[in-house]
Amino acid sequence: MDQKVSQEETFSPFVIEDLPDIVRGHEIWVEHGMQNVLFGDLVMCDLCFGHNMKSDKAVQAEKVTPAVSGTWGESNAVEVSTAEDRLLIQFTPSFEGYHIIGVEYDGGILNLPHPGLEGPKYYRQYTKTIIPIGNCEAEGNFQAKKNCEAEYNLTVGHELEIVPQGYRQYKVGENILLKVLYDQRTLPDATVYGIHAGNRENPIEVTTDSEGMVDIELEKSGKWMFKVVYGDSEKSVKDLYDKKIMTATFTIMDVGENKWK
């Protein structure tokens, strides 16, 4: 005798919490509490993984590729270790001026049965931050000031990247100008999210213009993250995945209070 199975027993509802974190909206970003870092000091940063600056866990160290470059393009040796809910990135700066920390995270290929997500997708994520070494604003510290004010390339060459224009140490109420690059070309009509601890549930959303630019007001002091997500089916690989999905973030850790406002 055939046994009938009820619809309830055969139907598996789509629950977003069942998705892997990287699919349902998790990203990597770099945080640090380094202030007034001097030449030769050990720099320590956290590589976090979570959503909108709320960290959940550490990604696997073997899946990340960190790099540090500076004002004049030099690279620094980087050490990566695992903490309880994050990775630790350490390096010793080799000169005064801005140092750019860039990290790539290979999320891998996921093939999910959920509606709208059918077919394998390749997830890759990028993040970067900038740390000034030496007090760029101190009177008499001419070399650090010269290095921080120098015209130099703030790109690290990530596939998807957020590049600050005219980077400096920002104050509340000032605007930050950002350019989004994809394959080293400007990316128009992309949504950039401006995220602060105070607006995690409702971040600022701005669309890039024809030159890939957005202008965002820094409404609060402290830590900020800017995020963009882009998917490209043209980067599919036959028999491996039908779309590449990329996320890029850029963080600023020290937006200061504006005493004149």
Strand 120-133 and strand 243-255: pairing?
parallel
Q: Domain residues of the chain, as ranges?
A: 7-255
Q: What pLDDT shows up at residue 8?
A: 42
pLDDT tens, position by position, 218-255: 999 999 999 999 999 999 999 999 999 999 999 999 89
Place 148 in a pLDDT band, splitting at 50, 70 and 90: low
Work out the mean pLDDT of the chain and round it to a whole number: 85
pLDDT tens, position by position, 43-59: 999 999 999 999 988 89
CATH class of 7-255: mainly beta
Average pLDDT over residues 89-117: 88
Q: What pLDDT shows up at residue 97?
A: 80
Share of the chain above pLDDT 90, in %: 54
Residue 7 reports pLDDT greater than 50: no
Residue 104 reports pLDDT greater than 70: yes
Average pLDDT over residues 100-115: 91
SS3 of the chain: the string is CCCCCCHHHHCCCCCHHHCCCCCCCCEEEEECCCCCECCCCCEEEEEEEEECCEEEECCCHHHEEEEEEECCCCEECCEEEECCCCEEEEECCCCCEEEEEEEEEEEEEEECCCCCCCCEEEEEEEEEEEEEECCCCCCCCHHHHHHHHCCCCCCCCCCEEEEECCCCCCECCCEEEEEEEECCEECCCCEEEEEEHHHCCCCEEEECCCCCEEEEECCCCEEEEEEEEEEEHHHCECCCECEEEEEEEEEEEEEECCCCC
Average pLDDT over residues 92-99: 82
